[in-house]
């Protein structure tokens, strides 16, 4: 059997087993081990086993639980809720100001947590009720929260980019820097869209009543500003220590977790319940990442042993004679399709053995490709009918927001994400300027 047919057989078997509802890591690891035994016999059992030992040498993986702990500590302690109150006060006087402030909230939450689920939870529970109470269009604000929450996997300290860095063997700092400008660009496009839509139809995003604004004193505004900027100060401390070489990546993650805990302590919000919820959520997310990586390494060790990557490369470039850009667009499209059914981590570790070597052979920058991959994850999160954020919103939204509202709300943000990806493909320096500036220094 040729490498191409074995590739098709392995991936088809894996997708069929996933359709049965079994856990992703178990399916990936089982397919890898089973095909190893089938292709090479009993001795091949050592191949996937030895691959899992690689995890013990992935020291940056320690950063995942610390960054997740930092985000959940700021969220569970209520510090993140102060961010929305700050935006509520400072931007509420503008048409669409609360929705624009919600985008700002999502950007800062992304800098705190690095996961989309935290932004979705805070946006749906804190921002959405306030937006609806002030007469904002329910479909527009539902899309704002779903689209804005996806920024968490693009801006540092993105956990997804940390995992991509380990699998693609790329510097984490350069990937974080590469995600900053695209993430801010996407947030800016969201903001311009909200401003334009509320300007054309003021009823979709009315400004706060003058009497409500007058009731807020200047001292309260300044107090909320200082409370809201506390998480941003933590993020700035982490990045400055890391970029100046004072701390390593792992040390920076530890400092982030420590600063978040101290912030909760000094604001009087740290208690046993907050600590228990933060620890429990951190353990669940960290174990999920670890198990998926272990299963993926079992799969990729067998796949690499076949030499299938070189066979697929020869098929696409020599037999089919496809251009590098055509192959890249095909890869992006497959990410969107896979992301409808899988989470970003599972999607990455499944296709990494095939795509990352192919990207290098096509002459593309792996750092740049990592940003494109992350944006396609964001697009997949909000793509009907099975987008991850769609189901989270359905679970958290109030009864007056229907499933059809959730589905119809997302399309403007879907096309804005597509536009962001196209801009980065046409102008790669949007993603590569900061990494090159840093390394050039």
Q: How would DSSP label each residue in 139-157?
A: HHHHHHHHHHHGGGGTSSS
- Residue 228's CB: how many other CB atoms inside 10 A? 24
| pLDDT score at 166 | 77
pLDDT at 250 over 90: no
- Phi first, then psi: give them for residue 7, nearest 5 degrees: -60, -45
Contact 393, 146 (CB under 8 A): yes
CA distances from 137 to 96, 98, 130, 144, 377 (A): 10, 12, 12, 11, 27
**What whole-number distance in Å separates Cα of residue 31 and Cα of residue 171?**
30
pLDDT at 328 over 80: yes
Determine which of 136-150, 167-181, 290-304, 368-382 has the lowest per-residue pLDDT on average.
Answer: 290-304
> 33-47, 61-75, 116-130, 376-390 — which one is most confidently predicted on average?
61-75
Chain segment 82-96, per-residue pLDDT in tens? 777 777 777 777 788
| pLDDT score at 51 | 66
Contact 64, 313 (CB under 8 A): no
> 41-45, 113-117, 166-170 — which one is most confidently predicted on average?
166-170
Whether the bond between 157 and the residue before it is cis, its omega within 30 degrees of 0, is yes
| Across 40-68, average pLDDT | 72
**What whole-number distance in Å separates Cα of residue 236 and Cα of residue 251?**
15
Contact 191, 94 (CB under 8 A): no
List alpha helices for 307-402, DSSP H: 308-314, 324-341, 344-361, 366-381, 388-396
Band of residue 186 on the pLDDT scale cut at 50, 70, 90: very high
**What whole-number distance in Å separates Cα of residue 253 and Cα of residue 267?**
21
| pLDDT score at 167 | 78
As given in the structure block, the two tokens for residue 68 are 């997740």
**What whole-number distance in Å separates Cα of residue 133 and Cα of residue 155?**
30
| pLDDT score at 235 | 79
Q: What percent of the chain shows pLDDT beyond 90? A: 11
**What whole-number distance in Å separates Cα of residue 251 and Cα of residue 283?**
19
Determine which of 182-191, 201-210, 273-282, 410-419 has the lowest per-residue pLDDT on average.
Answer: 201-210
pLDDT at 222 over 60: yes
CA distances from 84 to 9, 75, 99, 151, 402 (A): 49, 12, 10, 16, 24
Whether the bond between 385 and the residue before it is cis, its omega within 30 degrees of 0, is yes
* HSE-CB of 65 using CA atoms within 13 angstroms: 11
| pLDDT score at 430 | 94
pLDDT at 382 over 70: yes
pLDDT at 270 over 90: no
Average pLDDT, the chain: 79
pTM of the model: 0.77
- Distance spanning both ends of the chain, measured CA to CA: 51
- Residue 244's CB: how many other CB atoms inside 10 A? 8
| Across 348-363, average pLDDT | 77
Number of residues in the chain: 441
| pLDDT score at 94 | 77
| pLDDT score at 118 | 65
pLDDT at 359 over 60: yes
- How far, rounded to the nearest angstrom, does the alpha carbon of residue 35 sit from its chain's CA centroid? 31
| Across 312-336, average pLDDT | 74
Contact 123, 149 (CB under 8 A): yes
| pLDDT score at 75 | 75
pLDDT at 151 over 90: no
Q: What percent of the chain shows pLDDT beyond 70? A: 82
């Amino acid at each position: 059997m040729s490498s191409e047919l074995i590739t098709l057989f392995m991936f088809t078997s894996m997708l069929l087993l996933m359709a049965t509802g079994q856990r992703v890591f178990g399916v990936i690891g089982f397919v890898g081990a089973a095909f190893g035994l089938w292709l090479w016999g009993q001795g091949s059992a050592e191949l996937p086993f030895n691959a899992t030992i690689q995890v013990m040498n992935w020291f940056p993986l320690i950063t995942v639980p610390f960054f997740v702990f930092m985000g959940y500590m700021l969220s569970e302690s209520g510090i993140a809720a102060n961010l929305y109150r700050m935006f509520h006060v400072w931007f509420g006087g503008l048409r669409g100001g609360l929705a624009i402030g919600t985008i700002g909230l999502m950007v800062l939450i992304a800098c705190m947590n690095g996961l989309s689920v935290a932004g979705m939870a805070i946006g749906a529970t804190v921002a959405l009720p306030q937006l609806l109470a002030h007469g904002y269009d329910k479909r527009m604000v539902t899309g704002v929260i779903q689209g804005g929450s996806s920024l968490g996997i693009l801006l540092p300290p993105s956990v997804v980019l940390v995992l991509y860095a380990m699998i693609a063997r790329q510097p984490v700092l350069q990937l974080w820097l590469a995600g900053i400008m695209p993430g801010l660009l996407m947030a800016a496009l969201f903001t311009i869209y909200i401003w334009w839509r509320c300007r054309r139809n003021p009823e979709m995003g009315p400004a706060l009543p003058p009497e409500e604004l007058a009731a807020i004193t200047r001292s309260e505004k300044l107090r909320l500003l200082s409370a809201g900027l506390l998480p941003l100060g933590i993020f700035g401390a982490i990045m400055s220590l890391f970029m100046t070489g004072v701390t390593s990546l792992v040390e920076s993650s530890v400092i982030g977790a420590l600063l978040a805990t101290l912030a909760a302590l000094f604001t009087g919000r740290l208690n046993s319940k907050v600590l228990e919820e933060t620890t429990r959520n951190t353990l669940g997310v960290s174990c999920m990442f670890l198990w998926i990586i272990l299963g993926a390494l079992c799969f990729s060790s067998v796949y690499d042993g076949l030499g299938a990557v070189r066979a697929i490369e020869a098929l696409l470039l020599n037999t089919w004679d496809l251009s590098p850009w055509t192959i890249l667009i095909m890869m992006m499209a497959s990410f969107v399709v896979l992301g409808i059914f899988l989470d970003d981590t599972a999607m990455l570790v499944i296709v990494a053995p095939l795509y990352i070597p192919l990207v290098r052979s096509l002459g593309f920058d792996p750092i740049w490709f990592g940003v494109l991959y992350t944006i396609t994850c964001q697009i997949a999160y909000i793509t009907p009918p099975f987008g991850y954020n769609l189901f989270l919103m359905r679970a958290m939204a109030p009864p007056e927001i229907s499933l059809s509202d959730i589905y119809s709300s997302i399309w403007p943000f879907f096309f804005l994400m597509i536009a962001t990806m196209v801009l980065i493909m046409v102008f790669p320096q949007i993603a590569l300027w900061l990494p090159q500036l840093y390394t050039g220094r």
